[in-house]
Structure 1
Amino acid sequence: MVLALARAELKLLLRNKTVAVSSLLMPILVGSWVGSTLPDDAPPQAWAITLCLQLLVVLGFTVYFAVTAALASRREDLYLKRLRSGEASDAVVLAGLLAPVVLLGVLQSALVLVISISMGAPVPRSLPLLAALVLGMGLCLVAGVATSGRTSSSEQAQITTLPLFLALTGGVLVAIVGPMWLLLPGGGIGGLILHAVTGKGDAVSSAASLLVWSVLFSLLAKAWFRWEPR
């Protein structure tokens, strides 16, 4: 059931031009452009900042924005209501709808990483990099579910997702300025990427920041998410 829903949702995502461009094309273009601005002899610190920004853009566009826009659109056209009236549980329905976004996020993150390494970036340590991707993905998923409850269409998602998107990408300040920016939603991602590339920073505090924000947005998702239009 989850796979069937995921296949159908992937087709719907790709048909929506707003979501397709924002979640598929934009992260790759931004990631490639940011990586191309660094010289061949750039130090690890510079690459840590670059990789952090690339991953934050991928998670912000491909995961957070896409989840918000897709769920808002499916709710307004009563697709969520129809799915919920069937045999599948709420958890199965949400898993099927969110699975394509997770897959696209993983593929794009891997692609951006390969592009950066081919441009001269050092290979990051696997454990903190994996933690940044998994915990960051979880944060953006629950944040997208929460924001969708305050979004009436995929077009409006361009506005409702903007504040948190800026807070997410602001996590790059951890790699630029210091650990005080761990308080931002994306700060934990920045801290983990910094640790993965340079060995600096506190990986435990970074992971804890992401977990705290994920719990907060999980509570908001539970309070705000709606299955049908008001």
Structure 2
Amino acid sequence: MTTPTAAAAAPGRPRPTTGRFRQAARLTRTEFTLFVRYKTAWMFLALPMFLLVVSLGMESYEVFPGVDSTAMSMAGMLGSIGLIVGLGHASNVFTARREALVLKRLRVSGVPQAAIFGAVIGVVALFSLLVAVLMTAVTSAFTGSMPQDPVMLLVAVLLSTVPMTLLGLLVTPMVRNAEAAQMAAMVPMMILLFLGGLFIPLGMLPDPLREAMMLLPVAPVTLMAQAAFTGYDVFGGLEAATQPGYLGLWAAALPSICVVLAWTAVLALLVRRFFKWDPRQP
């Protein structure tokens, strides 16, 4: 009689393969452990909180009845979480793993790209949501009001984590080591922070410039966070903003959601085409 162990070890028998879902789950658990142990990752988590505190020092004026510019700025800072954590963390750790041949060993062992990238996106999304909850609590405590649409707020944070993590992965082919990746990631990070309405309110800009910035992946998320917190339809500008109700607010947010999803699709294709698994040659 042939035992299962002997049958598995018999020559010519294919090894049992691990499903993609299980591979992704294992990698996600590993990514979670490494994220917790990685000091630089905690710095990226703390940076959105720092920006939130900075927004408290800005000059305040009333934007809507019961809503001042400080509350709008603090709500908008929620749009920076995915940008900072996703772009900064992914570019750093994947460059280090590539140079240490970790990524090459994963690919040689048959782990699919979707599992490798999905694991880091999942961990970034998880910690981004945790930071978003903390920042929302601080904003609510300071402004004395709660988010009018918490679901839209969570969706905005989740939507930003995927394209920003993919953008971080696109930084890795251009640099040789993790230190260079940190510096290189700061360039698109700062550009998107300024063009995303986080430091310069989008409602104060001319319509053509505001509409152009709405085609970038950060400004739509910023407006979604502000709309979710205040309940006002700020997507068309502050002058004509109204309170359309739950369904009306989601209808107004659809173009912004489509922009972020389009960026996600484009960046996913670029990562698939240009991401490098082998270490860069000197």
TM-score exceeds 0.5 = yes
SS at 1:227 equivalent: coil
TM-score for the superposition, normalised by structure 1: 0.84
Between the aligned partners of 2:68 and 2:272, the Cα distance in structure 1 is 39
Q: How does 1:125-140 map to 2 (within 5 A)?
A: 125-140=149-164
Residue 30 of structure 2 is aligned to residue 8 of structure 1: yes
Q: The residue matched to 2:163 in structure 1 has which SS?
A: helix
Equivalent position of 1:163 in the other structure: 187
Task: Give the corresponding residue for 1:192.
Answer: 224
Give the Cα separation in 2 of the matches to 1:82 and 1:139: 25
- Secondary structure (helix, strand or coil) at the match of 1:161 reads helix
Provide closer, same or farther for how the CA distance between residues 193 and 99 of structure 1 changes in structure 2, counting only shifts above 3 A.
closer
Q: What is the deviation of 1:37?
A: 5.3
Structure of higher CA gyration radius: 2
CA distance in 2, matches of 1:88, 1:108: 30
Q: Which has the higher contact order (CA 8 A, sep 6+)?
A: 1
In the alignment of these two chains, the number of paired residues is 228
Question: Aligned residue for 1:67?
Answer: 90
**Aligned residue identity for 2:172:** S
1:27–1:49: structure 2 CA closer, same or farther, 3 Å change rule? closer
Per mean C-alpha deviation after superposition, the further-off stretch among 105-114 and 136-145 is: 136-145
| Residue aligning to 2:53 | 32
CA displacement 1:99-150 (0-9 Å, x = unmatched): 3222111111111111111111542423432332222122212212222232
**Counterpart among 199, 203, 219 of residue 269 in structure 2:** 219
For 1:76-225, what aligned pairs fall within 5 Å after superposition?
76-120=99-143, 121-169=145-193, 170-172=195-197, 173-177=201-205, 179-180=210-211, 181-196=213-228, 197=230, 198-201=232-235, 202-225=252-275
TM superposition shift of 1:36: 6.4
Unaligned 5+ segments in structure 2 are: 1-22, 236-251
Secondary structure class of the residue paired with 1:152:
coil
Taking a change above 3 Å as real, the CA distance of residues 203 and 33 of structure 1, as seen in their structure-2 partners, is: same
Secondary structure of the 1:28 match is helix
Q: 1:8 to 1:128 in 2, by over 3 A?
A: closer
Structure with the higher helix share, 1 or 2: 1
Contact 1:19 1:154 in 2 (8 A): no
Which SS does the other structure have where 2:109 is aligned? coil
Q: Indicate if the aligned counterparts of 1:149 and 1:221 stay in contact, CA closer than 8 A.
A: no
Counterparts of 1:12 and 1:186, CA distance in 2: 27
Structure 1 runs not aligned, ≥5 long: none
The sequence identity of aligned pairs, in percent, is 21
Contact 1:175 1:194 in 2 (8 A): no
Partner of 1:149, secondary structure, is: helix
